[in-house]
Amino acid sequence: MDSESTPLLEEVSRHEKIYNRFSPIQKRTIVALVSWSALVPMFASGSFIPAIPQIAHDMNTTGTTISFAVSLSIFAASLGGMVFATYSSFYGRRPVYLIGTPLLTLGSIGVALSRSVPEMMVCRFIQAFGTSGGMSVGAAVIGDIYKLTERGTAMGIFFGATLLGPALSPLAGGWGAHYASWRWTQIALAFAGFAAFMLMFFFLPETSHPGSRGIDKMLEEEDAKQRKWVWLNPFSPLALLRSPNLMLSTLSGAAVLITDFALFIPIAYTIGVKYNITNEFIIGACFVPGGLGNIVGAPLAGYLSDRAVIMSRKKYGANSWRPEERLRAALIGTLIPVPLSVLFSGLITQYIDGPLGLVLNLLCFFINGVGVDMALTPATAYAVDILHSRSAEIMAASMGLRSAILSVSVALVLPSIKRYGVAVTDSIAALIGWSAFVMVWVTIRYGKRMREWVDVGYSTATDT
């Protein structure tokens, strides 16, 4: 064997061993645990939306005022995501879950007991902050335990399981609001958060690669007996977004999610008003097609993105580094189902009455759900691919910027619908959705060149 190729083969062998630390059963258990932890936040947000009219009535305020709690929770989730991601890179993944889930429990109890809007806003902030590590750190855990050619499929399963939340949480929240009280829904979330804590405490191992945590490197240089708490800058992950590739990937994800939020956040005031639906349970049931679309779209997109990576490696060589090929799986979703579903939904709601209009809207919700995850799953796996050593941080930075954009967008949706109508508002959202296609195409076409413009410590073919 050529002596020059031997070190490379040894490096590849060591790299493979990192991903063989856990058995297939252990990996599936870990995926189930982090999916549960990311599913609960979806219930925390999704179950709140159908209850907005009832909460507004109970607190003697308006739906628009209560909808600001959604914006606040998005902001809290973005801030918390960066805090937890930064510390997960230094102290590990497991401690983040053991701190975040109790905050979710306490915040949920606080929301349930709130008697005024300010009280509820503070408790929603704590609740959302506690849930914020679920998605960003969960995606990093997937990157820790699955290698490059398996990561997209695993990420798709993670998102598919997680996104049972959008399918079921509005239904549960609507049922609770109509047949019991929105407060009991929050108590149920507190129990779910406590269950997540117990499961993580007993069954979740540390998944960070050996020696990769900041605490590991610090202990190599200092006496372990003198170990002390290290304060970190939670906003440092935002510096990673100076990478054009990561910025475009983040902005395209935000554009896609704007279409989703434009459909679902004002649903009680669009579908509910148009088709005379006042039962919160039925309004919650209208979310189910979108959630089912998420469940279908995420695994499909993950599989297709892995196939794109495998085909690229066959075409260009196993050691070639063309990570942007994964994003080809996102092109169809951003071109067709994402923008067209929101565009048609706006037109249908504006102009088609009766059961036919409602059924067509539900079909649009399903198509949007499929399209959104066909766009987001490859983008998430791509971010982990190209910055594997700081995967939690780039996920948090991306989600943080996306959340900031979405928090503003959410606050504008209802006023826009009241001023210009649902058709105009959804048409604007569709145009924003098409911009995601342009950004994904640019990243695929010029990604390698853009990575050379700004080096933020990108991964290579042997350390992904």
Burial status of residue 351 (CB atoms within 10 A of its CB: 0-12, 13-18, 19 or more) = exposed
Q: How far apart are CA 208 and CA 88, in angstroms?
A: 9
Instruction: Considering only residues 62 and 434, tell me which one the structure prediction assigns the higher pLDDT.
Output: 434
Q: How far apart are CA 255 and CA 338, in angstroms?
A: 10
Element at 15 (helix H, strand E) = helix 5-19
pLDDT-derived band at 177 (thresholds 50, 70, 90) equals low
Angle subtended at Cα 460 by Cα 457 and Cα 462, rounded to the nearest 5 degrees: 135
Q: Is the pLDDT of residue 243 over 90?
A: yes
pLDDT at 29: 92
Q: Is the pLDDT of residue 247 over 90?
A: yes
Q: How far apart are CA 47 and CA 176, in angstroms?
A: 9
26-35, 219-228, 423-432, range with greatest mean pLDDT: 423-432
Q: Is the pLDDT of residue 8 over 60?
A: no
What mean pLDDT do residues 181-196 have? Answer: 87
Give me the chain's average pLDDT, please: 85
Q: Is the pLDDT of residue 11 over 80?
A: no
* pLDDT tens string 132-143: 888 778 888 998
What mean pLDDT do residues 333-361 have? Answer: 95
The per-residue DSSP string of 408-419 comes to: HHHHHHHHHHHH
For 203, the 3-state DSSP assignment is helix
pLDDT-derived band at 44 (thresholds 50, 70, 90) equals confident
What mean pLDDT do residues 91-98 have? Answer: 91
Q: Is the pLDDT of residue 12 over 70?
A: no
pLDDT at 117: 86
- Domains of the chain: residue spans and CATH: 22-206+235-453 (1.20.1250.20)
Q: How far apart are CA 309 and CA 322, in angstroms?
A: 8
What does DSSP assign to residue 205? Answer: P
Q: Which amino acid is at 175?
A: W
Q: Is the pLDDT of residue 229 over 80?
A: no
What does DSSP assign to residue 279? Answer: -
Q: Is the pLDDT of residue 9 over 50?
A: no
pLDDT at 178: 67
What mean pLDDT do residues 222-232 have? Answer: 67
**For the whole model, what pTM was predicted?**
0.77
Please state the separation of Cα 365 from the chain's center in Å: 18
Percent of the chain with pLDDT over 70: 90
* pLDDT tens string 120-134: 889 989 998 988 888
For residue 27, the tally of other CB atoms under 10 A from its CB is: 18
Instruction: Considering only residues 79 and 340, tell me which one the structure prediction assigns the higher pLDDT.
Output: 340
Least confident of 257-271, 369-383, 450-464: 450-464
pLDDT at 5: 46
